[in-house]
A and B are shown apart, each in its own frame.
Chain A
Amino acid sequence: MNDSSIQSNFPTLNKRKSIEEFVYFDNACTTLRPKSVINAMNKYYEEYSVCGERSLHKLGKMVSDKVHETRSLVARLIDARKEEIVFTRNTTESINFVAYSIDWKKGDVVLTSDKEHNSNLLPWIRLSAKLGTVHAVVKSDSNGSIDLLYLKELLEKYNGKVKLVAVTLSSNLDGITNPVLEIARLGHRYGALILVDAAQGLPHQSVSVKKFDVDFLAFSGHKMLGPSGTGVLYGKKKLLEEFEPFMIGGGTVVKSTYNSYCLENIPERFEAGLQDYAGIIGLGEAVKFIQKVGYKEIARRDLELNKYITDYLCSIERVHIIGANEPEKRGGIISFYVDGADSHMIALMLDEANIMVRSGQLCVHSWFSDKDIQGAIRVSAYFYNTLEEAEYFTKTLSNILKAV
């Protein structure tokens, strides 16, 4: 697919008459949605907006079939089994799900990297405050990815006590991808479970939970073309089966009496109450779209744009890129800060030129506090962004940097 055929699928991009009207470089926050996703959701609301699963009528069956289809699509996308896919609202909910479900003992240890999104940090901090678990941070190495030696050191130090290693696949701060395969191998060797926050990773790279041998994988639909309010938790079957659902009610039991109930199988037992059918159906379409474009093409475009913008930024002395300088290590993300200029201020100046980026501490406050950096500007590209847009961005930023 070329630029214009890709862009023509996105109504938000179709609306603009020229790129000066709208350039969207905040894809790490949420992506734009293709027409197919919107249409599928509209179709649900217009043609069969009824209950799935519990209602046996024709329309109900249509909904159930669509939900199953999405579950299969998602399972196939990450190389999992259908029953291992639990629909949630987002990555945050998926991670909290795990935090609530594991049977913690006082002194159990959770390890995270030093660049976790608040969603993969706060649940563990709270856990230690509430249950007396220990949360320890694994520093990144000079390449910006998790330091495996340091990880090993900590696993040894806490010898058998590390219950969970929870790491991001790709950082939303700098786009750097962690060696999940090695992390999982190492963690398992010390008896730890592995949770991967794939919110940023999965939209840009293929993931095989089998190959990586991770125990849990969390991600959001809205960061990969899907509707807001859709997320997924993958969990290994045997682990999910051990979990006590932290929310129960309609849809989670096969039967109940006045004083007992019998839980549904996984994954339904974790999906309490009426589900966001339209969202789930939309998510299925999003997965199809990503597969149509292909991860190879996504990676190629990420690199092309990242390289162009990185080359420009590297030429400016006052600008500091966060993470590795090599664009191939940072997926679609280019975060940087400018000496003597506030990140929000620059972002708003870009916004005045209709370029949308993210600024501030990007929900990774811990890292910024530790490094004593006030904030950053994050440009995050996706496959529908173009070189022309990147050029417009660099030209605009160059003018801004002349002024501030």
Chain B
Amino acid sequence: MACIIALIVFSIMGLFSATHRQLAREAFDCVFRRVTFRPCNTGFKEKIRGRIIGKLLKRSVALAKFSNKYFEVFAWIFFLLTVASTGYTIKGGYNFYRYGSCNGLNQGGFCAFDPTGKNNATSSVADGSCPIKQPTTKDLTLSAVDLELFQSKKADSKNDLVFVGCYSCDYTRKAYPVVKKLLEKENINYTFIHFSVKNENENFPLYVYAASKIDQEKYWRLNDLFFEASKEDLQSQEKIDKMVIKVGYDLQVIKDEAQKETTKQAVQKQIEEIRKTHIYGTPTVFINGRSIVGPKPYRVYKLMLR
């Protein structure tokens, strides 16, 4: 058992030093002999034991005696721990590949492959109220949401993607090009929901709604422009107006539409509808009903498709 643990430990340490590589080789030889039902007569186990108990002896004879007596037991415990941690490492690696986080889809906590946690980072949508129960990933849903209220591109696909984000949020801006690439490469029914979270220009939602109502084609181009523009530009009414004109809208028509009471009501309705998703941060992407919170690598979105 000691040989197996030593093999694992020294194999890892062997990546960094030649001495440990040699020990790993010895451990391998010992393990190989064991699995081929031959005695491990390399003396490797005794060497490891001698080193460990010898070190303990310097601290306390009793401790060394105890450790020597239960050496095999400790070896088994370490073995099981090693197996368990190897299992977790493999699972973590799989989760990272599949969901962009070692801990699983939308799960925070430290991940060695994503140490800064950027794949899970979101811009909070908290509105200053203090709910008794903080929403979690489990609460995220589209089931009660009327998606007809938002802009969509139907592609007659078996895959549905709903992107909830805000133009001036860093993480949405990070996720958007990735999702856009996915939409370009795959055939997907797509719905975009703009959800203002930062102190954006208050006219923004009204403009966006008006634009989408007046011309769908131009709206999608405007959408791209907003994500391409700097965050500062999105604060400026003048710059927004310029972008509206650039994609070919008549600014006055948009302004008039935005001022209408019906537009305000529709935007209000949209906000209420979005709340029903219980999202707590942007970007939140729903692919076929499953939520993905935070900007994920391309493969994560792709793997969620049917």
Q: Give B22 Cβ to nearest chain A Cβ, in Å.
A: 15
B57 within 8 A of A: yes
Contacting residue for A348 out of B51, B56, B65, B68, CB 8 A: B51
Cα A399 to Cα B50 in complex, Å, equals 13
Contact in complex: B65, A403 (CB < 8 Å):
yes
A109 adjacent to chain B (CB < 8 Å): no
Query: Are A351 and B54 neighbours in the complex by a CB distance under 8 Å?
Result: yes
Q: Within B54-112, which residues are at the interface with A (CB < 8 Å)?
A: 54-58, 61, 64-65, 68
The reply to whether A404 and B61 contact each other, CB–CB distance below 8 Å, is no
Taking A360-B43, A403-B68, A404-B68 as contacts, is the C-beta distance between A344 and B54 under 8 angstroms?
no
CB of B53 within 8 A of chain A?
yes
Q: Which of chain B's residues has its CB closest to A360's CB?
A: B43
Interface string of B24-52 (1 = CB under 8 A from A): 00000000000000000001001101110
Residue of B nearest to A375 (CB): B43
Residue from the list A347, A348, A352 in contact with B58, Cβ < 8 A? A352
A353 touches B58 (CB 8 A): yes
| Cβ–Cβ < 8 Å partners of A353 in chain B | 54, 57-58
Alpha-carbon separation in the docked complex, A350 to B68 (Å): 15
Contact, CB under 8 Å: B50 / A349:
yes
A262 contacts partner chain B, Cβ-Cβ < 8 Å: no
* Cα separation A104 to B192 with both chains bound (whole Å): 98
Given contacts A403-B64, A403-B68, A404-B53, contact A345 B46 (CB under 8 A): yes
Task: Known contacts A399-B61, A402-B65; decide if A349 and B47 are in contact (CB<8 Å).
Answer: no
Establish whether residues A352 and B46, one from each chain, have CB atoms under 8 Å apart when the complex forms. no
Q: In the complex, how many angstroms separate the beta carbon of A244 from the nearest chain B beta carbon?
A: 42
In the complex with contacts A402-B65, A403-B68, A404-B68, A344-B50 CB distance below 8 A = yes
CB-CB under 8 A from A349, the residues of chain B are 50, 53-54, 57
Q: Residues of B contacting A400 with CB < 8 Å?
A: 54, 57
Nearest Cβ on chain B to A287's Cβ, whole angstroms: 37
B54 vs chain A, min Cβ distance (A)? 3
Report the minimal beta-carbon distance from B37 to chain A, rounded to whole angstroms.
Answer: 20
What are the residues of chain B within 8 A of A344 when measuring CB–CB? 43, 46-47, 50
Chain A residues near B53: list those with CB within 8 A: 345, 349, 403-404
Q: Do the beta carbons of A352 and B61 come within 8 Å of each other? A: no
Q: In A329-352, which residues have CB < 8 Å from any B CB?
A: 342, 344-352
- B65, chain A: closest CB distance, angstroms: 4
With A and B bound together, what is the CA distance between A352 and B64 in angstroms? 13
Contact A348 B50 (CB under 8 A): yes
Q: Which residues of chain A have C-beta atoms less than 8 A from B64's C-beta?
A: 399, 403
Q: A352 touching B54 by the CB < 8 A rule?
A: yes
A352 in contact with B47 (CB, 8 Å): no
Identity of the chain A residue whose Cβ is nearest the Cβ of B56 in the assembled complex: A403
A402 in complex: contacting residue of B50, B55, B56, B61, CB < 8 Å: B61
| Residue ID in chain A nearest B55 by CB atoms | A352
Chain A hits for B54, CB < 8 A = 348-353, 400
Chain B residues with CB under 8 Å of A347's CB are 50
Query: Which residues does chain B contribute within 8 Å of A345, judged by CB atoms?
Result: 46-47, 49-50, 53
A350 to B55: give the CA distance in the assembly, Å: 10
Chain A residues within 8 Å of B, Cβ to Cβ: 342, 344-353, 360, 399-400, 402-404
19 contacts between A and B (CB under 8 A): A344-B46, A344-B50, A345-B46, A348-B46, A348-B47, A348-B51, A348-B54, A349-B50, A351-B54, A352-B50, A352-B51, A352-B54, A360-B43, A399-B61, A400-B54, A402-B61, A403-B57, A403-B61, A403-B68
